[in-house]
């Protein structure tokens, strides 16, 4: 099979959490942590990651499903300006695909999904000292309190997508 490298940007919660979740998956090549901006009303920067992945190994649908389950995708809380619940797309084709995937998951959800689809416009990387935050600091209280529960959810609900080497310490 040929290697099909794609990318998608995801925002919803703390980018340390989002980065760790997607770094732990099979088929993910690289995760860039930082701040993403779209256009219009969403042109301000919001915490997010860019996920580079091999589409032969993990699908956009799986990435979106994991994203919806690992942040508060149904909660329109007061910090949404900093933690926009979003999928940022890099093409019109990708935008249409993601909108259809979210619509399908909405039909299966008891609650209204607030995750929106926006065109990717701009990215500012986080400072180097806070990138790869979880895997550099797994014993920090923040990691144990906020990231480990998301990673345990990955193991419980998405085990076939998880890189077992990344999460062997949680088993």
Question: pLDDT at residue 139 above 80?
Answer: yes
Predicted TM-score (pTM) of this structure: 0.94
The first and second tokens of residue 127, run together, are 């400072």
Name the domain count of the chain: 1
Show the DSSP H helices in 9-147 as ranges. Answer: 15-23, 60-69, 92-108, 133-136, 141-142
Which domain range does residue 24 map to? 5-170
Q: How confident is the model at residue 60 (pLDDT cuts 50, 70, 90)?
A: very high
Percentage of the chain modeled with pLDDT above 90: 78
Question: Nearest 5 degrees, angle CA 146-CA 37-CA 92?
Answer: 110
Give residue 164's pLDDT.
87
């Amino acid at each position: 099979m040929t290697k099909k490298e794609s990318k998608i940007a995801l925002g919803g919660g703390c980018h340390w959490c989002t980065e760790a979740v997607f770094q732990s998956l099979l088929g993910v090549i690289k995760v860039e942590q930082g701040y993403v901006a779209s256009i219009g009303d969403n042109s301000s920067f919001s915490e997010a990651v860019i996920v580079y992945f091999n589409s032969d190994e993990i699908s956009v649908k799986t990435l979106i499903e994991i994203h919806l389950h690992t942040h508060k995708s149904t909660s329109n809380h007061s910090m949404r300006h900093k933690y926009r619940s979003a999928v940022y797309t890099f093409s019109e084709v990708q935008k249409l695909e993601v909108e259809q995937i979210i619509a399908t998951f909405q039909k299966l959800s008891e609650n209204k999904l607030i995750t929106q689809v926006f065109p990717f416009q701009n990215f500012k990387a986080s400072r180097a000292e806070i990138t790869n935050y979880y895997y550099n600091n797994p014993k920090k209280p923040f990691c144990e309190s906020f990231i480990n529960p998301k990673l345990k959810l990955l193991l419980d609900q998405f085990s076939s997508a998880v890189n077992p080497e990344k999460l062997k310490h949680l088993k």
